[in-house]
Each structure stands twice: as structure tokens, then as C-alpha cells.
Amino acid sequence: MNKIEYIMDTSVILRRFQYDIYEYDSFPIHWNNFDKLIDERRIISPPSVKKEILFKSQELRNWCDKNDKMFVPPDNNIVEELGFLSEEFPDWYLANINSKKDGADPYLVAYAKVYGAVIVTQEKWDSDTKKEHNYKIPTVCAKLGAYCHIGKSISKDVGLDAPFQCIDFFEMIKRESLFQSLNY
């Protein structure tokens, strides 16, 4: 198995579908290359991401069924990291776990830390917020020492050699050259 490189947030997967910014019909090469990364097990997500998207549409349910291998259950290391996150950011952790969405955000951060991987999200970096329960994924990652590249905002004091990272989908497209026809 290849090394897990990316932990995918719900917000990215939803971009694939009709009437969204990166819909498949407009960007088939991007998404076909993305699917290859799933097949190679370089992209994974926690089952809580699957739960967040299953109720959206039949098209999403079909996509989840086809890509079920992407959704990897947490192991003991993930559970231990979730315990750390619940102590480090108790308001954020509880706000996510108790939300209607199924609480995927703490899992995404835990997976990225444990695997030394890159979270890919479309959430905005809200580093100026004082209310912990409102933190977004990039804010938590930055507070934990991750390199973050969300839109035009880039970590200033942390480099690409950070233990884990948080980027947006556009940055992943550039890093992986998802816009090119790739011959594997």
C-alpha cells in the first residue's frame, strides 16, 4: 500500500457534484486523477465524512458506495489523538461531536496528525476568532503547528516540513497536477 498522503474533508468531495465550483462535468480530468489517488490509497477519509455526505443525494450515495475503500475506520492511534484534541480544544471538540454533521472535523485532524498527512478542506482559515467552538479546521491545524495553505493565506512561521499540513483543494490540484492527463 502507498503512503497515505491526503485526508479528505466533506467540503472537497461535495465540490465534485453538479452546480458546484469544481463539478465533474467541467473538470473530468481533475476528478479522474483524484479517483486514481483514492484507488492507490493515497487519499482517505474517516467514516464520519461518509456519514456527512450520504444524506445529500443519491448521486453522492452511489459515489460513496463505489469509493467505500476511501473511508478508513479509526485505529487506537486515532482514538488516542482524539483524546488529546478533546483536552486541547474542548469547546471546538464538543461543538463538532455534538453537531448535526456527525463531527468529522476532529477525526480529520487526528488522522492527519497520526499519518503525518495533509488535510484537504474548503473551510476558511479563521485565525482571528476568539471563540474556540467556532474554530475551523485550518485554525486548529495552525494552532497545532501544521503548515497551512488556504487560499492566499499561508503559514508564515511553519514550513512544508511541518508534521502535518492543511491545504485547500486548489493547492492539491496544483501539487498533484490533477489538471493534466496522467499516464500511470
Structural domain span for residue 38: 6-176
Residue 127: predicted pLDDT: 62
pLDDT given for residue 2 in this prediction: 57
Tens-digit pLDDT profile for residues 62-85: 999 999 999 999 999 999 999 999
User: CA-to-CA distance for 171 and 149, rounded, in angstroms?
Assistant: 7
Residue 183 neighbours by CB under 8 Å, 6+ apart: none
| pLDDT at position 103 | 86
Residue 146 inside a domain? The answer is yes
Number of domains observed in the structure of the chain:
1
Average model confidence (pLDDT) across the chain: 90
Residues sharing a CB contact under 8 Å with residue 36, sequence separation 6 or more, in sequence order: 182, 184
Give 1-19 pLDDT, tens digit per residue. Answer: 458 999 999 999 999 887 7
The verdict on residue 183 lying in a domain is no
**Does residue 51 belong to any structural domain of this protein?**
yes
Q: For residue 53, what is the domain's CATH number?
A: 3.40.50
Longest dimension (CA), the chain: 47
Q: What is the pLDDT of residues 16-51, one digit of tens each?
A: 887 778 888 889 999 999 999 999 999 999 999 999
pLDDT band at 128 (very low <50, low <70, confident <90, very high): low
CB atoms within 10 A of CB 151: 13
Nearest to 7 by CA among 159, 121, 106, 98: 121
